[in-house]
Copies of this chain bind each other. A is one copy, B any other.
Amino acid sequence: MRTIQVTSSSGEYTVSIGRGLLDSLSSRLQKLPGKERKRIFVLTSPEIWSLWGGRFRAALGTEEPTVLFLPAGERYKRFAEVERLATEMVSAGADRSSLLIAFGGGVIGDVGGFLAAIYMRGIEYVQMPTTFLSQVDSSVGGKTGVNLRTGKNLIGSFHHPLAVYADVDLLGTLAQRELRAGLYESVKAGLIRDAALFRYFEANLPLIDGRDNAAIEKIVAASVRMKAEVVGLDERETGLRMILNFGHTMGHAIEATSGFGVLLHGEAIAWGMLVALAISTSRKWLKPEDGLRAERVIRHFQPPPPPALRPESLLAAASKDKKNRGDQRRFVLLKGIGKAVVTEDVTDAELLAALHTVLQPETAAEQRRSKKRTR
């Protein structure tokens, strides 16, 4: 087991990564800091609970948790569900001393964290992420929230868990597509700040894709460590933390424009990273050969192609992104493998060209050829 300490302005907590964490849950909870906890509530999805509920209950022993369900899927990450869950908690007698455990993927973690943040103005909670993506990403950083119909994650709070338990045993039941969607987030960690992690990816693609336990534990830990460092240095996303949004500006736009649920979040981010890489190389900030190395690793996991999207629609969707300040277009680009920079001056033309190259390579090539012919 590896542990990583996450420090932030509002406190610190430990992320534990390894095997067998679920089975030792009861003794882990007893060792947690904080006030006396009277009752345990679990937020999970029916699917996760049918797979792991029995072992979860057995791990808690005589402490019978109250189980709250949120159906799987981004479309349940919304206000009305938070209200329903809070109402169920009141009915079940949850008070300020209750502990909430978010046991599931990213949606469960985001909704669970937000529910804990606002229930009676804040109760304690623990993250127990069950997907690769949520283990490397959404359980670190204290961001919680829900979507509005006009955009993702527009509502939320900063609220830190007491602890995060990332049990890699739980990843064994993930579908290949879901695992791969998570791996992109780990590739991102390497690209923006950890060249050694990226080289590990390059050298071990079949091992990782074959979900070798040691390889998975290593990349989860490296990704969490990178994110914890960045978040510890800049919790409120005023500076450094912005690099974590590499691939997200266009990723969110691609995800929203495709219709939520068509691409997995991580797959949309994979396409967003390819767009950011195209801009980085076209600016000559990133060497062409490094751009190709990055592209090769991302494409190894075969992100499913998004539906035919008009680059102009994506541009419009990206303007609603909450990372924009006023009318400036902010973008995270690379100046090398492991070296991300935040820039404020990406123009619409630059972005459109990159979108054409990545999403409509044939059209883009055709345009280049016809340009040549007319010269």
Contact = CB atoms under 8 A, between A and B. Distances in A.
A50 interface: no
Given A79-B80, A155-B118, A157-B117, A326 B97 contact: yes
A86 B120 contact: no
Interface string A52-75: 000000000000000000000000
Contacts of A326: 38, 95, 97
B150 A91 contact: yes
A117 B325 CA distance: 18
Contacts of A79: 79-80, 82-83
Contacts of A150: 87, 90-91
Interface residues of A, number: 34
A238 to B, nearest CB: 9
A322 B120 contact: yes
Interface of A: 38, 79-80, 82-83, 86-87, 90-91, 95-97, 117-122, 143, 145, 148-151, 154-158, 320, 322, 324-326
A320 B93 CA distance: 8
Nearest to A9: B10
The count of identical subunits is 2
21 contacts: A38-B325, A79-B79, A79-B82, A83-B155, A86-B148, A86-B155, A87-B150, A90-B150, A90-B151, A91-B150, A95-B324, A95-B326, A97-B325, A97-B326, A118-B145, A118-B156, A120-B154, A120-B156, A121-B156, A122-B157, A157-B157
Contact of A148 (B87, B143, B154): B87
A146 B259 CA distance: 31
A148 B83 contact: yes
Contacts of A86: 148, 154-155
